Amino acid sequence: MSTSTYFFPLLLSLVIISSVSANFQRDVEITWGDGRGQIKNNGELLTLSLDKSSGSGFQSKNEYLFGKIGMQMKLVPGNSAGTVTTLYLKSPGTTWDEIDFEFLGNSSGEPYTLHTNVYTQGKGDKEQQFKLWFDPTADFHTYTILWNPQRIIFTVDGTPIREFKNMESIGTLFPKNKPMRMYSSLWNADDWATRGGLVKTDWSKAPFTASYRGFNQEGCVWSNGKSSCPNGSKKGTTGSWLSQELDSTAQQRMRWVQRNYMIYNYCTDSKRFPQGLPKECLAA
């Protein structure tokens, strides 16, 4: 193992996005769970819980047509098998757009699976999955979706793990026309979540609880059919998130994560695509 490889995880662990002043009472609303979702500490903390009766969830009050949306999360500790904690952007309707973080729980001592996906017009099947290089249940970590007209970048504690570029020029769908809200939920999916549904939820460990703080929303807010950003959100000023891309250092960090922690990539699953890999995979 090279010296640079040895010290890289330490470097990554120190790269933390600073939290901004956020208030859940102002910025979100709990939408389901019959009291299992709670806002605490004068709006600085939010918790979601899951028991055998129900999970819980919340959504942003704002809709966005492009944005940089981040959240500090501490996931369900211990034996979280069968549980799914989510953070995602989604538009309404049957031909929806969606950008996903999904955290699939596991048995005690085993790492979570971080599942990412992108849907456009109701069509997804663009999964990449990762194991994390830290324990996401021991402390809060920041998960961010950057969505601009050119690309979608998924980051963990400021480290990019995935980039999905706008490749409409070769026929790949890209979400760019439908405003989306931020959603989060904690729910039971032991029919598929943990090892394909082989490991079931241990309800003796319930209630399961995930915690949230530091909701960071930089976005083009969509209201009454109009965007808060100039030029209809089509481009941003130099250096802003609306035109942000990965520099060489960020690309190196993303490659390191993908080389060491990616466990599934639809772009390498030739058995799934016997007629040939999707065009965006060949162009990447």
- Annotated catalytic residues are 98, 102
Structure token pair of residue 113? 């699976």
| 20 and 207 Cβ atoms separated by less than 8 Å | no
| 108 and 201 Cβ atoms separated by less than 8 Å | no
3 state SS for 132-179: CCCCCCCCCEEEEEEECCCEEEEEECCEEEEEEECCHHHCCCCCCCCC
The CA-CA-CA angle for residues 148, 29, 227, to 5°, reads 35
Please tell me whether the peptide bond between 207 and the residue prior to it is cis, using omega within 30 degrees of 0: yes
Cα separation of 204 and 207, whole Å?
8
DSSP state of 243: G
Instruction: Please state, in angstroms and as integers, the Cα–Cα distance from residue 19 to each residue in 30, 34, 129, 140, following that order.
Output: 21, 29, 26, 11
Give the Cβ contact number of residue 73 at 10 Å: 23
Structure token pair of residue 126? 């663009």
